[in-house]
Amino acid sequence: MAETFSSFRINPDRMLDSFTQLALIGATGDGGVNRPTFSDAHLAARKWLKAEIERSGLEFRSDGAGNHSAFLLCAGQHAPILLLGSHLDSVPNGGRFDGALGVMAALEVLKTVKENGIRLKVNLEAIDFTDEEGTLVGLLGSAALAGHLSQKDLASPRGGRENLVTGIARAELSDESMLSAARSKDSLAGYLELHIEQGKRLERAGVNIGIVSAIVGIWSYRLSFIGRADHAGSTIMDDRLDASLGASAFTLAARELVMKDFPNCVVNVGKMDFAPGAFNIVPARVDLALEFRSPDAEEFNRLDAALIELARREAGRFGLELKTEFLGKHSPSIMHDKVRNAFANACDNLGLSHVSLSSGAGHDGQSLSDLCPVGMIFVPSVEGASHSPREFTKWEDCVNGANVLLQAVLRLAAG
Amino acid sequence: MAETFSSFRINPDRMLDSFTQLALIGATGDGGVNRPTFSDAHLAARKWLKAEIERSGLEFRSDGAGNHSAFLLCAGQHAPILLLGSHLDSVPNGGRFDGALGVMAALEVLKTVKENGIRLKVNLEAIDFTDEEGTLVGLLGSAALAGHLSQKDLASPRGGRENLVTGIARAELSDESMLSAARSKDSLAGYLELHIEQGKRLERAGVNIGIVSAIVGIWSYRLSFIGRADHAGSTIMDDRLDASLGASAFTLAARELVMKDFPNCVVNVGKMDFAPGAFNIVPARVDLALEFRSPDAEEFNRLDAALIELARREAGRFGLELKTEFLGKHSPSIMHDKVRNAFANACDNLGLSHVSLSSGAGHDGQSLSDLCPVGMIFVPSVEGASHSPREFTKWEDCVNGANVLLQAVLRLAAG
């Protein structure tokens, strides 16, 4: 059966035409787009998608969270749905590939299945998730669909409650509708997403397709190195308890530690706050914003212990006290083996090289990974540019990604 | 002649009585005093000093900058004046020794010279300089007396123009009177000050008296380490241009450099400002507040070159750009050889150990060092505490200091 399906390909020119039309909506004139959630440009893009779905003869669907979909009946009305998708919103002055490519590829897969009259075990849905980028909440549409969205999330959203209220009114939605968008486990056969890499690993390795092993988790801390404020003139160097030394030594050593012992992880010291913070006073306290990411839950525990031990050691070396405030975590989302294998087989069948890698950035798939099998693929980003008008992926790579998505769907869902 | 003078000593009980009365004015109940310039407590202390001077049979003098003095005619009316003194103002919640000891010792020297009817080549003046600590301007009275005060200093004072206007009105002074307090070079034979050390060097070395070689100068810079903002999840460690790394490495290396190659100097990184300053963004820029001090002008040039070279090297090591903004300097004030020798001879005569050291903090002497021979001595501070209610110097050490001051005066001014 798979032998028959192996010859199907998406239509590159049709996908390019759609992609280009979409890229013009909210275009910033420098190759990028500016489509923050529920901005005029974003609403215009959503309107265009609805029309494009209807032009294609697919069924347009929407839910209370503002997610817009193309639906294609490939099995019975009550068969589970295999979701494909991404998002049309962008960061402010972002690129035209992030999200948009995934939605256009998903739609192109449905068009291809439809025109070839392929029968599957599942129905297909190409979805544009609401507010992936977090203008309002972040992963909003996918969290709502997965039933993870709470009143609390809506009460204190990352973009401010006022912006959320204004935004959802513009989209003719409400808090109540948002919370009503949850779907049942039974209704979903899986979720597959194509995205640009947002990094240089594929480009550097000269590999066509990245098969995501996991979307990394994030742990964050506020670390306080505490010494003593002293006169920066009359206190000799040896008599100081200078909080800047512990913070600086930790920042350097944390990077060394991760690069040497945790090559799959990243660490960031995004900010230091000095107190009292004057030219002529030895710093009494430095508060440091620490974040680290890992694709693996067990590795997180080891990295966490190693970083906190390192902070203690560096504080102790300079006679400082250390206070640690744990600010929370997101667990890593493991991509499903069945989906990863389908992507790998699809790549092999298409003669495309592939590599397994983790996603350092968050994606809608992480909302869904406890609900259904989830998988993602990345295509190479030129110079790794992302969240920038410089974002660019060669069209050939976009086509490759869409064909891998199609072939993986057929492998997972062939009747 | 010096043989005769060598036997004179100040009266320890009389000085203790005065010192204790003064320490009660603005006392904070924890051993400290709170006498910011022209506060109620400071005005009360000034009023007490005037009365104390008059009770002693000395002549009370004041000038347009609010400096208060005891004057003792020891030579002719037109003979130059040898100034002795310090200040009665304190930092907020400061100690009872800083400044006050120097004024009480100067006054005690005049009382001793007066009661012994000693004829000198110069007249003596024990002065309380206005606003040494910088509640309003800093070194205000001495700068005015030296003719260094400008309209500009009064227009944008460190404590804010409003506080200055309010303060000088409370003391019945004005901008005009301030600028009229300048004295001529010819009128001054020198300036001598006794002060507590504000550090641990004397206590640690077990030495009675520190003879100040120089009051250090201060140079300051804003150094900017500039990298690139990147996604702290999807950008691998090797691909980052993380500004925090250059700033941290410089902070550690600057301390090492100074401790190893510039043991007479100090360096301080008092503050870092991170941009954009978020947990999940690699820092694009860190602005660092750098200050360094040296007692020697030539050494300053070498230290400056070494620090800037170090910043360049550490920036380069992490692929960062470095911007340097020079924020200004105060040159070091060299203490006069003649005065230093007089202090050393006085110590030897009194059987007190002494050591040459620099002052890391600023003092009124630096206002006067281009006008007349200036010298300072330090007495040990217990645990080096300063600008704190914990500030303490054993009374025996205070008495030693006052006797060294007396003996140096006699050596410099014997007829």
Domains of chain A: 2-215+334-413 (3.40.630.10), 217-330 (3.30.70.360)
- List Cβ neighbours of A213 (8 Å cut-off, separation of 6 or more): A295, A334, A335, A340, A356, A357, A358
Alpha-carbon distance of A157 to A35, in angstroms, equals 19
| pLDDT tens for chain B, residues 1 to 415 | 445 789 999 999 999 999 999 999 999 999 999 999 999 999 999 999 999 999 999 999 999 999 999 999 999 999 999 999 999 999 988 999 999 999 999 999 999 999 999 999 999 999 999 999 989 999 999 999 999 999 998 998 888 899 999 999 999 999 999 999 999 999 999 999 999 999 999 999 999 999 999 999 999 999 999 999 888 999 999 999 999 999 999 999 999 999 999 999 999 999 999 998 888 889 999 999 999 999 999 999 999 999 999 999 999 999 999 999 998 888 899 999 999 999 999 999 999 999 999 999 999 999 999 999 999 999 999 998 888 899 999 999 999 999 999 999 999 998 6
Whether ipTM exceeds 0.85: no
Q: How is residue B29 written in tokens?
A: 């109940």
In terms of Cβ atoms closer than 10 Å to its own Cβ (0-12, 13-18, 19+), residue A219 is buried
Residues in chain A within 8 Å Cβ distance of B266: 232-233, 235-237
Considering only the beta carbons, identify the residue of B238, B279, B293 that sits closest to A270.
B279
Give B180→chain A minimum CA distance, Å: 31
CB neighbourhood size of A160 (10 A): 11
Tally helices (H) and strands (E) across chain B.
14, 15
Q: What is the pLDDT of residue A3?
A: 52
- A266 and B216 within 8 Å at the Cβ level: the answer is no
* Distance (Å) of CA A376 to CA A85, A114, A122, A342, B348: 10, 23, 19, 11, 84
- Going by C-alpha positions, the residue among A203, A187, A214 that lies closest to residue A340 is A214
Taking the mean position of all CA atoms in its chain, how far away is CA B227? Answer: 39
User: What region does A332 belong to: left with phi over 0, alpha with psi -120 to 50, or beta?
Assistant: beta
* DSSP label of A221: E
Alpha-carbon distance of B303 to B284, in angstroms, equals 28
- A245 and B236 within 8 Å at the Cβ level: the answer is no
Q: How many CA atoms lie within 13 A of A332 on its CB side?
A: 24
CB neighbourhood size of B300 (10 A): 22
Considering only the beta carbons, identify the residue of A248, A281, A386 that sits closest to B251.
A248
Residues in chain B within 8 Å Cβ distance of A235: 199, 266, 360, 384
User: Do residues A186 and A79 lie in contact, with contact meaning Cβ atoms separated by under 8 Å?
Assistant: no
Residues in chain A within 8 Å Cβ distance of B238: 259
Residues in chain B within 8 Å Cβ distance of A270: 232, 274, 277-283
Alpha-carbon distance of B23 to B127, in angstroms, equals 18
Q: What angle do CA B218, B222, B223 make, to 5 degrees?
A: 120
* Distance (Å) of CA B302 to CA B219, B262, B292, B308, B312: 12, 9, 12, 10, 15
In terms of Cβ atoms closer than 10 Å to its own Cβ (0-12, 13-18, 19+), residue A35 is buried
Considering only the beta carbons, identify the residue of A218, A279, A293 that sits closest to B291.
A279
Give B43→chain A minimum CA distance, Å: 27
Q: What is the pLDDT of residue B329?
A: 85
The pLDDT tens digits for A91-150 are 988 999 999 999 999 999 999 999 999 999 999 999 999 999 989 999 999 999 999 999
For residue B383, the chain A residue with the least C-alpha distance is A239
| pLDDT tens for chain A, residues 1 to 415 | 445 789 999 999 999 999 999 999 999 999 999 999 999 999 999 999 999 999 999 999 999 999 999 999 999 999 999 999 999 999 988 999 999 999 999 999 999 999 999 999 999 999 999 999 989 999 999 999 999 999 998 998 888 899 999 999 999 999 999 999 999 999 999 999 999 999 999 999 999 999 999 999 999 999 999 999 888 999 999 999 999 999 999 999 999 999 999 999 999 999 999 998 888 889 999 999 999 999 999 999 999 999 999 999 999 999 999 999 998 888 899 999 999 999 999 999 999 999 999 999 999 999 999 999 999 999 999 999 888 899 999 999 999 999 999 999 999 998 6
Regarding pTM above 0.90, the answer is: no
Residues in chain A within 8 Å Cβ distance of B201: 236
Q: Under DSSP, is residue B381 helix (H, G, I), strand (E, B) or coil?
A: coil
Order of strands, sheet of B285-294, starting from the edge strand that comes earlier in the sequence: B266-275, B285-294, B217-226, B321-330
User: What region does A88 belong to: left with phi over 0, alpha with psi -120 to 50, or beta?
Assistant: alpha
According to the 3-state scheme, what is the secondary structure of B185-198?
Answer: HHHEEEEEEEEECC
Task: Give the position of tokens 């440009």.
Answer: A41
- How do strand B266-275 and strand B285-294 relate by DSSP bridges? antiparallel
Q: Which of A198, A225, A234 to mutate to test the interface with B (most CBs of B within 10 A)?
A: A234
- A236 and B201 within 8 Å at the Cβ level: the answer is yes
Alpha-carbon distance of B362 to B96, in angstroms, equals 18
* DSSP label of B390: T
The pLDDT tens digits for B80-98 are 999 999 999 999 889 999 9
- A235 and B266 within 8 Å at the Cβ level: the answer is yes
For residue B248, the chain A residue with the least C-alpha distance is A248
Runs of H (alpha helix) within A196-296: 201-205, 243-261
- List Cβ neighbours of B27 (8 Å cut-off, separation of 6 or more): B33, B96
- B361 and A197 within 8 Å at the Cβ level: the answer is no
- A360 and B293 within 8 Å at the Cβ level: the answer is no
Give A130→chain B minimum CA distance, Å: 21
**Run of H or E including B272:** strand B266-275
Alpha-carbon distance of B278 to A55, in angstroms, equals 43
Considering only the beta carbons, identify the residue of B234, B248, B281 that sits closest to A360.
B234
Amino acid type, B192:
L
- How do strand A285-294 and strand A217-226 relate by DSSP bridges? antiparallel
- A274 and B279 within 8 Å at the Cβ level: the answer is no
Q: How is residue B303 written in tokens?
A: 């230290």
- A231 and B274 within 8 Å at the Cβ level: the answer is no
For residue A239, the chain B residue with the least C-alpha distance is B200
Alpha-carbon distance of B293 to B295, in angstroms, equals 7
- Going by C-alpha positions, the residue among A96, A103, A98, A82 that lies closest to residue A134 is A98
Considering only the beta carbons, identify the residue of B233, B242, B274 that sits closest to A360.
B233
Alpha-carbon distance of B18 to A12, in angstroms, equals 96
Runs of H (alpha helix) within B62-193: 100-115, 140-146, 151-155, 161-170, 175-179
- A197 and B249 within 8 Å at the Cβ level: the answer is no
Give B187→chain A minimum CA distance, Å: 32
Amino acid type, A411:
R
- B270 and A291 within 8 Å at the Cβ level: the answer is no
